[in-house]
């Protein structure tokens, strides 16, 4: 059952997470796996978006554990961010491609759903007759 509220800072963080995930996955829509694996600039751009995604969700988890618990694999997403930032030499670009093509397309609708709940709550607040 959806919650009726979330912490005030959560919507902006969820928006940042969704924006970063959407930007990252867009790379897989216009580039092949081979092109991605051969292009360090694409890799760096995707890594940056995954860092933003992980940081935003880390902040959601810190500020609003109940909302974070509704995000599948939130701990793994944050762990990926930590690897990108702190253990960059261990980054496997083939795994990053899998994140783009397998994981993010599942995550984005979850984030969209959470943001839609925020929109619905705001609509109810602004129109008490609704």
Nearest to 104 by CA among 15, 20, 39, 13: 20
- What does the DSSP assignment read for the chain? ---S---TTHHHHHHHHHHHHHHHHHHHHHS-HHHHHH-HHHHHHHHHHHHHHHHHHHHHHHH-HHHHTTSTTHHHHHHHHHHHHH-GGG--HHHHHHIIIIIHHHHHHHHHHHHHHHHHHHHHHH-TT-
Handedness of CA 31, 32, 37, 38 (dihedral sign): negative
pLDDT one-digit tens code per residue, 44-55 = 999 999 999 999
Can you give the pTM of this predicted structure?
0.90
pLDDT one-digit tens code per residue, 86-124 = 998 999 999 999 999 999 999 999 999 999 998 888 777
């Amino acid at each position: 059952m959806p919650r009726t509220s979330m912490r005030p800072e959560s919507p902006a963080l969820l928006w940042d997470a969704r924006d970063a995930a959407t930007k990252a996955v867009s790379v897989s829509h216009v580039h092949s796996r081979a092109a991605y694996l051969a292009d360090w600039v694409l890799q760096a751009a995707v890594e940056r978006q995954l860092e933003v995604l992980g940081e935003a969700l880390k902040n959601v988890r810190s500020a609003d554990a109940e909302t974070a618990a509704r995000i599948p694999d939130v701990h793994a997403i944050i762990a990926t961010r930590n690897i990108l930032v702190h253990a960059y030499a261990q980054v496997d670009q083939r795994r990053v491609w899998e994140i783009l093509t397998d994981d993010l397309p599942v995550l984005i609708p979850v984030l969209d759903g959470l943001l839609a709940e925020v929109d619905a709550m705001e609509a109810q607040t602004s129109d008490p007759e609704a």
